[in-house]
Amino acid sequence: MHSLKLIFMGTPEFALPTLKAIAESSHTTVAVYTQPPRPANRGQRETLSPVHAYAEAKGLPVFTPATLKTEEAQQQFRALGADAAVVAAYGLLLPEAILKGTRMGCINVHPSLLPRWRGAAPIQRTVMAGDKETAIVIMQMNAGLDTGDMLMIEHYPIADGTTAGELHDTLAAEAGRLVLRTLEGLQGGTITPVKQPEQGVTYAKKITKEECRIDWREPAQALRHKILGLSPYPGAYFTYNGETIKLFNAELIAGSGTPGSVVDDRLGIACGSGALRPLILQRPGKKPMPLDDLLRGYVIPKGTQLDLP
């Protein structure tokens, strides 16, 4: 297989292993596109995206347009003369001129089953829904939202208790290998694009602050899935004594009572059906900690009624 000239388009940590796989392969990375530097952390200093920092360290040309809709941005993209663009969590809309701006078009890394979870937060929504399986889909991009033909799909079981953060890291680590296999298949003519099924389409919409709040009237199992799906970011939470307490893991326990009532001395909490025990929690201004560490200095006694939304 001859070396391809590739453009890489990505921004967060998730995209890094794919960029590394491409940069270390026999292909040539002619440019890296990523989101512009943003203010971050307490000092609100301009911070490079993880992809930007890596690309700069490797001496790769970096482009950070605020939009790709201008004629100037599209001409710049075409002028790179790339064979294909590989896209992983880039975060900018790709207009038709960009999708068609390379010989083989744009291929996208999608970290969930399609068409089950199209949209902004597929990994979190997969875990929040309690799905037992997920996938990485390498897809030929078109003008729709995650609607392109599937070029390669690899399935992964989701073990009970897996957080969105753990699933994110697993899928990110696998994605680069699949992209390279896909490029090889496209070059060799051994890949047949497969249309997505028309049935079973759902949208993994962006996570809102409101839905991160725990409503103890929901069933314990559904709340556990929510807690795991929002861990480590942005974190599910409840309020007690005017404090917002985040939860990053929890287990199902036997017990019942008024939803939101504490049913034992180790913070077992009654839900709409069943009960939950938080395992890792975080008080404001503190680090996340195991339940036993929290309870040493901060007691929420049996019989306490926690706030409901």
Write down the domain spans for the chain.
Answer: 5-188, 209-297
Instruction: Kindly provide the b/e burial profile for residues 229-248, where b requires at least 16 CB atoms within 10 angstroms of the residue's own CB.
Output: bbbbeebbbbebeeeebbbb
pLDDT for residue 19: 98
pLDDT for residue 38: 86
Specify the pTM.
Answer: 0.94
pLDDT for residue 216: 98
- Can you list the positions of beta strands (E) in 158-242? 236-240
Coil, strand or helix: which one is 133? Answer: strand
Q: Looking at domain 209-297, which CATH architecture does it have?
A: Roll (3.10)
Which stretches of the chain drop beneath a pLDDT of 70? Answer: 1, 42-43
| 99 and 141 Cβ atoms separated by less than 8 Å | yes
Tokens 């326990």, residue located? 253
Supply the DSSP symbol for 260: T
Residues pairing with 203 in the sheet: 118
**Alpha-carbon gap, residue 67 to 90, rounded angstroms:** 12
**Alpha-carbon gap, residue 253 to 221, rounded angstroms:** 10
Fold observed for domain 5-188: Rossmann fold (3.40.50)
Tokens 């744009």, residue located? 106
CA angle centred on 132, ends 122 and 271, rounded to 5°: 90
| 275 and 255 Cβ atoms separated by less than 8 Å | yes
Tokens describing residue 198: 């028309």
| 259 and 238 Cβ atoms separated by less than 8 Å | no
**Alpha-carbon gap, residue 248 to 149, rounded angstroms:** 36
pLDDT for residue 1: 63
Q: Are strands 28-33 and 5-10 parallel, antiparallel or unpaired?
A: parallel
